[in-house]
A and B are shown apart, each in its own frame.
Chain A
Amino acid sequence: MTKQNAFQVQDKEDRKMLKKVFWRTMTLSSTYNYERMQSLGYVYTMIPVIDRYYDKKEDKIEAYKRHYELFNTTPTMGGFITGLSTSMEKEAAEDENFDKSSINAVKLSLMGPFAGIGDSIFQGSLRIISLGIGIALAAQGSILGVILHLLIYNVIAHLLRYYGVFAGYNMGTSFIKTASENGILGQITKGAGIVGLMTIGAMTCSMISFEIPAVLNIQGSELVIQDMLNQIFPNLLPLLLTFVCYKLVNKNVKPIWIMLGLMVIGVIGKVIGVF
């Protein structure tokens, strides 16, 4: 058996079609709605595939209808699934006995796991890192912060957006199914969680500035409250504040009320002279 690169597609026409699938997969969420979610985006993505593999009009119509069913995943990870659908449509067009209902069954079974790992990698981890670095630089007035944020996020995200389509097409059902069954997806999610949590921990301490400048005067000796707190643990207040907010968020208090609460606390603190 010759070893084949997972991202290479030999046939030139296929490659051209897959590039179209890649561009169209990115638009999945553009027409999101509550009823069918990304279904319109999914048909839009599959149109070049359907038009290439099917000749008869009724086959095409059947395929359009097949892909205009509820679907929802992270668009950045969507390429794996649309690539896979592409290879399944190809099989279905070539083999009369192919069970076409399996195409949607596979889509539906993969959209959850891929959305899960997409959210933890991109929303929970990569986005936080790129924004964290960007904010730190931009806060000093440097445009480099904006540029670095866009570069860090998109270079990594783009590799998945692009090669995901080719990998999904090449590896076929079996590989992706084993991947989600033997725990690779779970482990990637865990790895992303580690990086994400470390970054969030770092941001808790570097981006919340919560200090009490008030000085107590006890029998002539001055007591700087902040110095005492720093001796217990630097950044004790930001950490405590974060946990209080976390408890509130977990009790389903709307973030906006917490924000308004903090505004009120800020004003009261200034009025009584603590801050």
Chain B
Amino acid sequence: MNIGIALLITLVVWLITWAEAWFAYPMINTPLVLCPIVGLILGDFQAGIIAGATLQLIFLGVMQIGGTLPADASLGAVIGTAFSITMGQDVETALTFAVPIAVLGSTFTLLKYIINGLVNPYVEKLCEKGDAKGIERVHILVSFLPDLPKMLVLFAALAFGTGFAQGLIDAIPEVVQSGLDYATNLMPAVGIALLLKMMWSGKMAVYYFLGVILVSYFNAPILADACLGVIIAVVTVMNERKAAPVAQAVQSVEEELFND
């Protein structure tokens, strides 16, 4: 790939990575948004949008809760999409590269958090001195500089990795390609399972199946499903709130009884 283009993609990704954390996670550092941008820079916007949808679906369950280390969906999506577009391949190729790269990419997140921590003693000193300007400066610098190692790797992969990737793709036999293609449709199950792990509870399971049935028998679009969900949530919570004071009153009556 042209070095100038690789540099441009790297800088845009760096900016988006920074903005994601700086503006309280506006969900821009996601495959759905990144892939079309990569596509636009490489001259195939349409392929970028499609790749974004496919990869986003697979990485749907990847999320960061309380400082855990998820796979780096963004890094995988950017490199995978860039490779598949420069090689003139389908979205399956993007996926083939995106998954392993995303897994390796989580190392950079770990590295970033460690580097971030290195400034702690220095910031402590700044607090002792009451140097507010200094604290502000450190916060701003640390918000983007520790991403440098990851961005260097991204740049190198984009600038010099295409030939290697091409060789790899050529070496994969036809039947394996079509098998991976088929697996692309199955993989969202992993993301959904991760979401379920976070949300599932016995009492709430009925709502999951309500969603299942709405789509299976009525072909409801997601938006309709979500709207209905909001209505059910409001009704349920309102009913609970109405019932709550009664429950409290009952409890206080009981307490009075026991107090006597």
B190: chain A residues within 8 A (beta carbon): 245, 249, 255, 258-259, 262
Which B residues touch A94, using CB under 8 A? none
Which of B45, B135, B196, B200 is within 8 Å of A43, CB to CB?
B135
Q: Which residue of B lies closest to A196 (CB)?
A: B199
Query: Given contacts A141-B50, A191-B234, A210-B185, are A246 and B197 in contact (CB under 8 A)?
Result: yes
Interface of A: prevailing SS: helix
Contact A68 B127, beta carbon cutoff 8 Å: yes
Q: Which of A140-199 contact B (CB under 8 A)?
A: 141-143, 145-146, 149-150, 153-154, 157, 161, 183, 187-188, 190-199
B66 touches A60 (CB 8 A): no
Q: A33-B116, A138-B49, A149-B33 are in contact. Are A263 and B183 (CB under 8 A)?
A: yes
CA distance A139 to B48 in the complex (A): 10
Most chain B Cβ neighbours within 10 Å, of A119, A127, A194, A255: A194
A83–B142 Cα distance when bound, in Å, is 24
From B23, B52, B221, A136 is in contact (CB under 8 Å) with B221
Cα(A134)–Cα(B201), bound, Å: 27
Interface residue? B157 (CB, 8 A): no
Residues of the A chain whose Cβ atoms lie less than 8 Å from the Cβ of B67: 32, 34, 37, 72
B208 touches A31 (CB 8 A): no
CB within 8 Å: A-B pair count:
355
Q: Which of B50, B66, B188, B217 has the most CB of A within 10 A?
A: B188
* Complex interface: chain A residues within 8 A of B38 (CB): none
Count, chain B residues at interface, CB 8 A: 109
Interface stretch, picked from B77-85, B118-126, B250-258, is B118-126
CB atoms of A203 and B222 under 8 A apart:
yes
Question: Does B46 make an interface contact (CB < 8 A)?
Answer: yes
Q: Is the CB of B116 within 8 A of A187?
A: no
Residues of B within 8 Å of A149, CB to CB, are 27, 32-33
B215: contacting residue among A120, A128, A183, A206, CB under 8 A: A206
**B interface residues with partner A (beta carbon < 8 Å):** 18, 21-28, 30, 32-33, 36, 45-46, 49-50, 52-54, 56-58, 60-63, 65-67, 71, 99, 103, 113-114, 116-117, 119-120, 123-124, 126-130, 132, 135-136, 138-139, 142-143, 175-176, 178-201, 204-205, 207-217, 220-223, 225-226, 228-230, 232-234, 236-237, 240-241, 244
26 CB < 8 A contacts A-B: A29-B25, A31-B138, A32-B67, A34-B67, A34-B113, A40-B135, A43-B135, A44-B139, A68-B123, A128-B195, A131-B30, A136-B222, A138-B53, A161-B24, A187-B240, A198-B207, A200-B195, A201-B210, A202-B214, A235-B212, A242-B196, A245-B193, A255-B194, A265-B186, A266-B179, A266-B181
